[in-house]
Amino acid sequence: MYIPNQSITMSKMNKEIKRILEELQINPINESVCTGTNWIKAVGSKSKVCISPVDGEKIAEVIYATDTEYEAVIKRTLDAYEHWRQKPAPARGEIVRQIGQKLREYKTDLGTLVSYEMGKSLQEGFGEVQEMIDICDFAVGLSRQLYGLSMHSERPNHRMLEQWHPIGPVAIISAFNFPVAVWSWNAMIAAVCGNTTVWKPSEKAPLSAIATMQIIKSVLIENQVPEGVFTLINGDHTMGAKLSHDKRIPLVSATGSTRMGTHVATAVASRFGKSLLELGGNNAIIISKDANLELALRAVVFGAVGTAGQRCTTTRRIIVHKDIYDTFISQLKTAYSQLKIGNPLNSKNHVGPLRDHSALHDFVRALIEVQAEGAKLIFGGEVLTGKGYESGCYVVPAIVEASNHYKTVQKETFAPILYCMQYQQLEEAIAMQNDVPQGLSSAIFTNNLLESEYFLSNSGSDCGIANVNIGTSGAEIGGAFGGEKETGGGRESGSDAWKTYMRRQTVTINYGKSLPLAQGIEFNL
C-alpha cells in the first residue's frame, strides 16, 4: 500500500537544487549573514549541515555567525532605520512592490528549494512563495493606508488626533515549517511601516532564507535602499536569545513552539520590549450530525496530514457527534488507506517526510505515551523504511481514539497524529475544543445555522481563528493570523496587524488663546 511513487529521481533533484543555488549565485558556506545589499563572510567555527528530509542527502553547509557579525548587522540596521523611516510610506511600498515582482520571477526556483529543504509538497512550496507575493501586494496598498484617528476634545478650541510612527528595528525569528512566508508577513508590513528588520531563520531551513535574500538583493541595490533595511543572520537558538535580550530591538516577532515563545516573551518583557508571538496550536474540528460529511472528511484529511502534520494550524483533534461517529471514522480510515506517501516533489504523493529524526522521535514517543494513557491506535503509526524512504523520516499518519484530558492530547506534537473523540451536545463539544492550553485555529462543520452562530459567539470557540465548513488550515493573508492562550496572542499579516509594528502617539492641539484644563480643573496664577 505504501510503495513510493518516485517519478522524480533523487539524483535529478540534487542536480536541480544545485542549479538553483548556482543560478542565484549562492555560496552557503560563506554567505550566512546579509545586510540586504551585501554579504558578510561568517568566520565562526560552528556550522549547520543541511540535510534534505526527502532523501537524506546533504544540500550544503552553513557557517553560523559570531558576535562580531551580529554586532555588524545590528549597527547597520540601526543606521538604516534613521534613513528608512524618513522615506515616505508610499515610496517604501514601491520597493516592496518590486520585491513582489522579483519573487514572481523566482517562484518556481524558490518554491522547489523550500520543498526540498523542508520536505513539504512542491505545490505547498510554490504556495508558500505565492503567500510572499500576496503579502507584498497587501503591503503596497497598506503603505497608503496607515490611518490614524481624529477625536473630539472636551476643551474648546482644541483638536485631538492619533498618529502612528515606526517602532524601530524588528527581529524576526521564523520556524522551519514555513521557512520564508512568515518572514515576509512580518518583513513586508514592517518595511512599509518604516522599520528595518533582522531575520534569524530556523536552523533547520537556512538555505531558503539565504536564497530569499539573494533574490531581493538586486531590488535593493537598484533602488539604492540603504544597507541594513532587510538583514539576515544565521545561527542556532543562542542567536535568537541574543535578539530577544537586545535592548536595541524594540520588537521581536517569534514563530515556533510554546516553549521557545516563553523564553522569548520573558527576555523581551524583562527589558520592556514588545513581542509578537505565534506559537503552538492544538486545533480541533467539531463535526455535527448536521454536517456535510464529504466536505468534513476532505477538510480533516488535508488538515491532519498536510505538510506531514507540521503546521501550527494542523488538525490535531476531531470531535464528532456520537450519532455519526462510527460512520465518519470508517470513512476516515478508508481515506487514510488511500494516501500516497513518498517524495513530496512528486505531485501524485499526498504525504511527505517529517523534517528530521527529532520529529520522528516525537511522533513515535507520542503514540507510545498516549496508548499508555488508555488511547487506542486505530490506523497508521508505522515508520517507513526501504527504497524511497532512505531519509528515515517517512511515517504513516496515525488515527487515535483518545480522551481530550489525556496529557499527550493536551500537548502539541508536530507530527501527523489525529485524536478522535465523541460528543452529544454542542456545548460539550465546544468545551472540549477549548479545554487545551493552546488557542490558534478551530472549525465546525454543520449546516445548522444555530450551531454555527453559537460556535462563533462569545460562548463558542476561544481561538484566534474560527471557521465554519472549512478546516483549520489555509488562512488567507488578508486576515490577521494568530491565536490566544499559549499560542501567544500575537497577530501577523492582514487586517490591522500593522499596528504592532508601529508606536501610537496621541496629539492634542490648542488653537485658542486660553489654556483650559481637562476635567474642568482650574489652576490660577
The amino acid present at 448, given as its one-letter code, is N
Question: Is residue 260 helix, strand or coil?
Answer: helix
Q: Dihedral sign for Cα 152, 155, 158, 161, please.
A: negative
- Which residue has cell 481515506? 335
Residue 10 grid cell: 533523487
Q: Return the half-sphere exposure (C-beta side, CA atoms, 13 A cut-off) of residue 272.
A: 0
- The b/e string for 9-42 (b: 16+ C-beta within 10 A; e otherwise) is ebeebbebbeebbeebebebeebbbbbbbebbeb
* Residue 143 DSSP class: T
Picking from 104, 99, 144, 131, the residue whose alpha carbon sits closest to that of residue 498 is 144
Q: Return the half-sphere exposure (C-beta side, CA atoms, 13 A cut-off) of residue 517.
A: 6
In angstroms, the CA 159 to CA 322 distance is 60
Give, in order, the Cα–Cα distances in Å from 115 to each of 101, 124, 343, 414. Answer: 21, 7, 10, 18
In angstroms, the CA 404 to CA 100 distance is 43
In angstroms, the CA 446 to CA 456 distance is 12
In angstroms, the CA 223 to CA 347 distance is 38
Largest CA distance in the chain: 91
User: What is the number of helices (H) and of strands (E) in the chain?
Assistant: 15, 23
* C-beta separation of 182 from 255 below 8 A: yes
Q: Which residues contact 265 (CB under 8 A, 6 or more apart)?
A: 275, 277, 488
Residue 465 grid cell: 481563528
In angstroms, the CA 114 to CA 50 distance is 12
- The b/e string for 60-95 (b: 16+ C-beta within 10 A; e otherwise) is bebbbbbeebbebbbebbbebbeebbebebeebbbb
In angstroms, the CA 393 to CA 417 distance is 15
* C-beta separation of 318 from 298 below 8 A: no
The amino acid present at 11, given as its one-letter code, is S
In angstroms, the CA 282 to CA 497 distance is 23
The catalytic site residues sit at 278, 312
* Residue 149 DSSP class: E
Pinpoint the alpha helices (H) of 49-180: 67-84, 89-105, 107-118, 122-142
